[in-house]
Structure 1
Amino acid sequence: MALNGLYPTSDFAEDQPMPHFILTTHVVHRTLPFGAFISSVIPLSSRFIFRRAAAQTLPVSTMLLRSNSTGFFVSGIIGLGITFGRMMGRDDIEWQDRSWRLLRNSGQTQLDDFSASGMALGAIVGTVQRGSLPLWRGFAGGAGLGSLAGTIAFVTWKMSSSKKEGK
């Protein structure tokens, strides 16, 4: 069963339950892979391109988990700001319409499912592989990296399946 199948949906947009929750969690969820990308590029470039001495002291996995744990929370806060900044003063029907369309868009729900699965797996792996980092850093950093991995897996899968179909 798809993760988006857990959200209640209606036949009509104006009857959509929980629109604020659905739209907010969706936008926050979509900002996480972007935050993970930036949170990965910065320490990796510091280590491998600029060869900074401070970046050479930690293992790459610890460095990525530490950076991505911060990026996880920062991008989540940015996602909240984006949602409420865009939807401030909007009527409930607009929240309902946007959340209803998200749940009815098969490509978007597939992406969300891939990303959420990657985030769950990444949180587990990050927790196990955290090394000397606190538990929360391993969990959050792994979840962020997992959301990015799930998003990349979805894009790769979509591109390869469209090439097979000749599109």
Structure 2
Amino acid sequence: MYDMALNRMLPTSEFAEDQPLGHFILTAHVMHRALPIGAFISSAIPLASTFILRRATVYPITMLLLRSNSTGALVSLGVGGAMTLGRMWGREDIEWKDRSWRLLRNTGQTQLDDFSAAGLMVGALLGAAGRGSLPLWRGAVGGAGLGTLAGTVTFMVWKSTLGKKS
């Protein structure tokens, strides 16, 4: 099976009913998957405003993207948590364990999570370094959101071209 970098840090069991940390794993997964969606939307707004509507900006586009994506990332995390809570409200513990166990055992999903997590780390570092006059947290969080989007897109390109052989 594919060597899952993120999943080596999470405990997995042989059977779904024995899966530890089911609530945490499922909630963290959904919140992590919500980040690239939020980054896409948060990037479209300043890009459309700048290039399509031709609004004059006093900030470089990188600062606009980092600022917009820092807000978008925080909103995405909240929406992801709320989505999980809404979907799983009143469900039995075994359902949480089963869904999290399936996520950890799904090779394609874990590959996507690894690409996205790598993008998150690189994006956070680059965002913090290139934030300009933005606060450090905005640069790091905005870069992390953009990084998850970049990691997701990279995975999709890799899977559609090179990944078919594996």
TM category (shorter chain) comes to over 0.9
Q: Which runs of 5+ in 2 are unaligned?
A: none
- Seq. identity, %: 66
Could you say which residue in structure 1 is the equivalent of 2:161? Answer: 160
Spell out structure 1 runs of 4+ moving beyond 2 A: none
Q: Which amino acid aligns with 2:20?
A: P
- Aligned counterpart for 1:20 among listed residues 14, 23, 32: 23
> Please, which of 12, 28, 41 is the counterpart of residue 9 of structure 1?
12
TM-score (norm 2): 0.95
Shift of residue 162 of structure 1?
5.1
Aligned to 1:144: 145
**Is the 8 Å Cα contact of residues 4 and 112 (structure 1) preserved in structure 2?**
no
Gaps of 5+ in 1: none
Residue-by-residue CA offset, 1:47-79 (whole Å, 9 max, x unaligned): 0000113xx211010000000000000000000
Q: Does the Cα contact within 8 Å between 1:33 and 1:145 map onto a contact in 2?
A: yes
Give the alignment's TM-score, normalised by structure 1.
0.95
**Counterpart mapping for 1:1-167 below 5 A:** 2-53=5-56, 56-161=57-162, 165=165
Alpha carbon RMSD of aligned pairs, Å? 1.0
Question: Following the alignment from structure 1 to structure 2, what is the Cα–Cα distance between the partners of residues 43 and 60?
Answer: 8
Q: Which SS does the other structure have where 2:8 is aligned?
A: helix
How many pairs does the alignment contain?
162
Partner amino acid, structure 2, of 1:143: A
- What is the CA–CA distance in structure 2 between the aligned matches of 1:13 and 1:135, rounded to whole Å? 41
